[in-house]
């Protein structure tokens, strides 16, 4: 059970577990103790030095591969900027579709989480290119030498570089996981927007009398507990109770029985509700 929980945490917060593993690897890399396997291999001195040189060169090739992967992940920053620019339209669609305030906040949190994942992904990729671009190298005097001590130096640098490449791999892996999690969040929002359900009430061009029609601003959400027809009748009554109505002028009224406030303007027989909100109670002083 503990392993399952740790696995879930690692998938949800990949950077946390990645940094814990990298910390241990860096301690080994920066250690003054020789990282060579000389003491563990009995025939160490009999191994041709070309084998050590080949393994040493391969670590640099692996480094380049991880840097190429990191460069492709940097595009996550561009994706994040695109998501931020399109966030208003997406959240606006959700607000117009659902009247539940809790669902509005859940959608906002999901969108914010996706953006954070994308930024973290980009930061992890950039660290591979800048913070983690060092390698251990064999000194120039040892490049042409062929003795046991030189083999040990090659082996020491190779093992340190392998640990550095593991660190790079951890950063790239964390970056990929963050991108995946961001896509999952965006898919959740997409499902919420496209699902054929709605909790808002229809408000467009509702005819309430033979002489007038009423429509609502697209940003207005009427709670489920209120009847649209009753609100329409109140708007019509307020309009007809006024001595004169000027086209384009904003008028307003408060319904103290149902605790809501309305702003509207008229253009001939057409009434457009510009603003509507509910309040809990009125305090009489």
With CA atoms as reference, report the closest residue to 122 among 165, 154, 80, 167. 80
- 159 DSSP β-pair partners: none
| pLDDT value of position 176 | 93
- pTM summary value: 0.68
- State the DSSP code for 111: H
| pLDDT value of position 195 | 77
Residue percentage of the chain with pLDDT more than 70: 87
pLDDT band at 211 (very low <50, low <70, confident <90, very high): low
CA–CA dist 107, 228 (Å, integer): 26
CA–CA dist 133, 162 (Å, integer): 13
| pLDDT value of position 159 | 95
Above 90 in pLDDT, residue 106? no
The helix-helix angle for 49-73 and 148-194 (nearest 10°) equals: 20
CA–CA dist 170, 149 (Å, integer): 32
Q: Which residue has the higher pLDDT, 166 or 133?
A: 166
pLDDT per residue as tens digits for the range 243-266: 888 888 999 999 988 889 999 999
Q: How many residues would you count in the chain?
A: 285
Above 90 in pLDDT, residue 6? no
- 276 DSSP β-pair partners: 262
Lookup: tokens for 207: 């005819």
pLDDT per residue as tens digits for the range 22-70: 999 999 999 999 999 988 888 998 999 999 999 999 999 999 999 999 9
Above 70 in pLDDT, residue 205? no
Lookup: tokens for 268: 């001939």
């Amino acid at each position: 059970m503990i392993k399952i929980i740790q696995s879930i945490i690692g998938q949800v917060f990949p950077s946390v577990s990645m940094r814990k593993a990298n910390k241990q690897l860096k301690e080994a890399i920066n250690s003054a103790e020789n990282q060579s396997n000389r003491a563990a291999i009995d025939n160490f001195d009999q191994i041709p030095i070309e084998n050590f040189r080949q393994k040493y060169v391969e670590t640099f090739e692996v480094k380049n591969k991880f840097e190429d992967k990191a460069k492709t992940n940097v595009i996550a920053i561009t994706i994040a900027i695109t998501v931020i620019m399109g966030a208003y339209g997406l959240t606006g669609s959700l607000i117009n579709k659902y009247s539940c305030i809790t669902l509005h906040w859940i959608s906002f949190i999901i969108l914010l989480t996706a953006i954070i994942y994308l930024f973290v992904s980009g930061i992890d990729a950039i660290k591979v290119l800048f913070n983690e671009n060092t390698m251990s190298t064999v000194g120039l005097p040892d490049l042409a030498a062929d003795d046991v001590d030189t083999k040990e130096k090659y082996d020491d640098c190779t093992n340190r570089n392998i640990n550095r490449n593991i660190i790079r791999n951890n950063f790239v892996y964390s970056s990929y996981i963050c991108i995946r999690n961001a896509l999952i969040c965006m898919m959740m929002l997409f499902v919420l927007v496209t699902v054929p359900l709605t909790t808002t009430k229809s408000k467009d061009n509702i005819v309430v009398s033979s002489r007038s029609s009423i429509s609502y601003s697209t940003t207005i959400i009427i709670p489920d507990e209120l009847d649209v027809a009753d609100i329409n009748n109140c708007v019509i009554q307020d309009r007809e109770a006024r001595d004169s109505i000027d086209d384009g002028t904003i008028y307003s009224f408060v319904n103290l029985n149902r605790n809501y406030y309305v702003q509207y303007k008229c253009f001939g027989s057409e009434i457009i509700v510009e603003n509507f909100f509910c309040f809990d109670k009125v305090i009489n002083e």
